[in-house]
Amino acid sequence: MPSILDFELFIVILSSVLLIVGAKLWQDGNHLVKNGKTATAVVFRNNFKTYLEGGSGLYYPVVRFLTDKQEWITEELSVGYNPKKREGAKLRVIYDPENPTEVEIHSILQLRILPLLFIVAGVAGMGLSSLEYLGITDIVK
């Protein structure tokens, strides 16, 4: 039977992971927003990756675009989707001109809002576990 301490430790670990992932996504997105170039990409294919035994997973679009230096880049995006993106669909992407394989969909949701949600959830979890540890709140009974 799990104890309250196990639950608090789980929340601290989960919150830490959310904070780290959120900070990394924020840093990467900020770098692309400040230094990136935009391009129109075409979804070349979708790579399906399973994460659960039941076959659940996400489709990771592989996009192809032309850089400002007239180089063709074909790269899998780091964020998966379900349902998959339609092959041949055009997407606006942002890439790092120093490393054009670092590419993301040019979206305020992906570059700013999603990382911020991870950070907020991590901070909230840390706060909740701190209040629980200090005995200020009694969420786990």
Model confidence at 134: pLDDT above 80 = no
Q: pLDDT of 50-94, one tens digit each?
A: 887 777 899 999 999 999 999 999 999 988 999 999 999 999 999
Q: Is residue 126 part of a domain?
A: yes
The single residue listed with the structure tokens 């120093």 is: 98
Q: What's the pLDDT at 4?
A: 57
46 belongs to a structural domain: yes
Whether 30 is in a domain gets the answer yes
pTM summary value: 0.78
pLDDT surpasses 70 at 17: yes
Between 16 and 8, the higher pLDDT residue: 16
d(C-alpha 16, C-alpha 66), whole Å: 38
Task: Single out the residue of 136, 134, 124 nearest to residue 12, CA to CA.
Answer: 124
Q: What is the largest CA-CA distance in the chain?
A: 62
Residue 138 has pLDDT above 80, yes or no: no
DSSP letters spanning the chain: ---HHHHHHHHHHHHHHHHHHHHHHHHHHHHHHHH-EEEEEEEEEEEEEE-STTS-EEEEEEEEEE-TTS-EEEEE-SS-BSSPPPTT-EEEEEEETTEEEEEEE--HIIIIIHHHHHHHHHHHHHHHHHHHHHTS-----
Q: Give how many domains the chain has, as a whole number.
A: 1
Q: How many CB atoms lie within 10 A of CB 8?
A: 17
Asked, for residue 121, whether it belongs to a domain, the answer is yes
Q: Does residue 140 sit within a domain?
A: no
For residue 90, the model assigns a pLDDT of 97
**CA 126, CA 13: separation in Å to the nearest integer?**
9
What confidence score (pLDDT) does residue 115 get? 95
Range of the domain at 118: 4-134
Is the model more confident about 53 or about 129? 129
Tell whether 139 is covered by a domain: no
Whether 118 is covered by a domain: the verdict is yes
For residue 10, being part of any structural domain is answered with: yes
In this structure, what token pair is assigned to residue 86? 């339609």
